[in-house]
């Protein structure tokens, strides 16, 4: 009896219906079937339209800007400030502070950080920290809304150009890919610094004439004006004064000379000796700098051992690559032009190819 009852109960139990009874009668499937049927019915028209769309997409790809490493969407941009080489670092700091003060007045600015003399610590792999230069400063700007970044960058660029014409500026965003000083770099390689300068100036003129780049600079920076005393060996021998004595006197008069060390806990600070500011910051009385004469046993003016003072221009920086002198012309595409680096290079390449380089000199894109 029990077995019959359990068999009857098992046979009467019906499984729960979880699937629809007609899965292909829904609205989505019926619309898909009608569309597919129509395409198959007019197969020639369908193939023609698909081929036309393929050709249109291939043409559309030609309008896409080719930029291998695009800019990051991080709402941060950098303002690099290059003053003339040899500028005092305090003047550089004051100039950067004035520009940062203007930037902070904009309500879209969230924060700014200014570094003077060098770049910041590398907080991301693609950040390029500049070398130590007294004429360099960088302002890092974070905006509240990334959509306002380009407008604020153009506003900052216009302000610097109008109020600080002596500043060579560069505004850039965080980039994906390798860090570099500029988007476009052309190396001039050769032995003579003067010839390298001349070729570099020709390249500067080509980039500036194109109008699609800003700014244009080189890693040797500007020449520095120097006053070079011409030592008279005959007078020096009579007075017992040599070139080392002159170098030491000039260094002490203009830069100061360490005469001792002051210990403050674990810190050692040099004790510097130098004249008053009105004497140290001017070269009007350079011929009156006093030198100790071992022969006469008293001080004599510098003019007694100098035959002439020459005003000359010199290259403060001479860069090398593979032990060869290299001057690198650097620039970036102007954001207003809307061009990429590859497009700018293609525009200026014909003019660069027409340059006639002396023997032993060559150009190299970097």
Report the CATH number that the domain containing residue 136 is assigned in CATH. 3.30.70.1430
pTM of the model: 0.70
Q: Under a CB-based contact definition with an 8 Å cutoff, are residues 53 and 60 in contact?
A: no
Can you give the residue range of the structural domain that contains 278? 231-306
pLDDT score, position 258:
86
pLDDT score, position 18:
56
Q: Is residue 294 part of a domain?
A: yes
The radius of gyration of the chain from alpha carbons, rounded to an integer in Å, stands at 36
pLDDT score, position 282:
79
pLDDT score, position 175:
75
Q: Identify whether residues 202 and 333 lie together within a single domain.
A: yes
pLDDT in tens, 36-76: 888 888 889 999 999 999 999 999 888 777 665 667 778 88
Q: Identify whether residues 88 and 205 lie together within a single domain.
A: no
Q: Identify whether residues 212 and 343 lie together within a single domain.
A: yes
Q: Is residue 55 part of a domain?
A: no
pLDDT in tens, 261-300: 999 888 999 898 888 877 777 788 888 888 988 888 889 9
Which residue do the tokens 């008053």 mark? Answer: 276
Q: Is residue 326 part of a domain?
A: yes
Q: Under a CB-based contact definition with an 8 Å cutoff, are residues 229 and 309 in contact?
A: yes
pLDDT score, position 225:
85
Which residues does 103 contact at the CB level (< 8 Å), separation at least 6?
Answer: 79, 109, 112, 139, 141, 152, 156
Q: Identify whether residues 206 and 248 lie together within a single domain.
A: no
Determine what percent of the chain is predicted with pLDDT higher than 90. 35
Report in angstroms the alpha-carbon separations of 146 from 75, 100, 128, 171.
5, 19, 22, 15
Q: Identify whether residues 213 and 327 lie together within a single domain.
A: yes
Q: Is residue 56 part of a domain?
A: no
Token pair in block for residue 190: 């050769």
Q: Identify whether residues 158 and 239 lie together within a single domain.
A: no
What span, in angstroms and rounded, lies between the C-alpha atoms of 82 and 99? 13
CATH assignment of the domain containing 198: 3.30.70.1440
Q: Is residue 201 part of a domain?
A: yes
97's torsion region: left (phi>0), alpha (psi -120 to 50) or beta? Answer: alpha
What span, in angstroms and rounded, lies between the C-alpha atoms of 120 and 153? 20
Q: Which residues of the chain have pLDDT under 70?
A: 1-23, 66-70, 177-179
């Amino acid at each position: 009896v029990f077995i019959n009852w359990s068999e009857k109960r098992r046979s009467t139990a019906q499984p729960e219906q979880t699937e629809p009874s007609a899965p292909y009668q829904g609205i989505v499937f019926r619309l898909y079937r009608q569309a597919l049927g129509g395409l198959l019915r007019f197969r020639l028209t369908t193939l023609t339209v698909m081929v036309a769309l393929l050709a249109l997409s291939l043409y559309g790809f030609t309008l896409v800007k080719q930029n291998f490493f695009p800019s990051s969407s991080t709402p941060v941009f950098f303002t690099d400030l290059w003053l003339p080489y040899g500028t005092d670092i305090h003047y550089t700091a004051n100039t950067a502070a004035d520009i940062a003060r203007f930037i902070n007045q904009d309500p879209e600015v969230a924060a700014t950080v200014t570094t003077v003399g060098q770049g910041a610590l590398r907080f991301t792999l693609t950040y390029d920290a500049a070398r130590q230069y007294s004429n360099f400063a960088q302002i890092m700007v974070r905006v509240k809304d990334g959509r306002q970044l380009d407008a604020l960058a153009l506003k900052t660029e216009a302000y610097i150009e109008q109020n600080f014409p002596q500043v060579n500026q560069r505004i850039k965003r965080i980039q994906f890919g390798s860090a570099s000083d500029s988007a476009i770099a052309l190396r001039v390689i050769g032995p003579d610094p003067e010839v390298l300068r001349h070729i570099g100036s020709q390249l500067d003129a080509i980039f500036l004439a194109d109008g699609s780049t800003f700014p244009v600079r080189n890693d040797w920076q500007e020449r520095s004006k120097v006053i070079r005393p011409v030592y008279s060996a005959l007078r020096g021998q009579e007075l017992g004064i040599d070139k080392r004595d002159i170098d030491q006197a000039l260094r002490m008069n203009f830069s100061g000379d360490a005469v001792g060390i002051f210990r403050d806990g674990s810190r050692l600070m040099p004790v510097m000796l130098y004249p008053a500011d009105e004497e140290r910051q001017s070269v009007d009385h350079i011929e009156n700098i006093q030198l100790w004469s071992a022969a006469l046993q008293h001080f004599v003016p510098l003019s007694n051992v100098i035959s002439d003072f020459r005003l000359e221009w010199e290259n403060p920086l001479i860069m090398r690559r593979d032990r060869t002198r290299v001057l690198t012309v650097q620039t970036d595409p102007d954001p207003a032009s809307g061009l990429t680096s590859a497009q700018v290079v293609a525009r200026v390449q014909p003019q660069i190819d027409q340059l006639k380089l002396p023997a032993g000199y060559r150009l190299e894109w970097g």
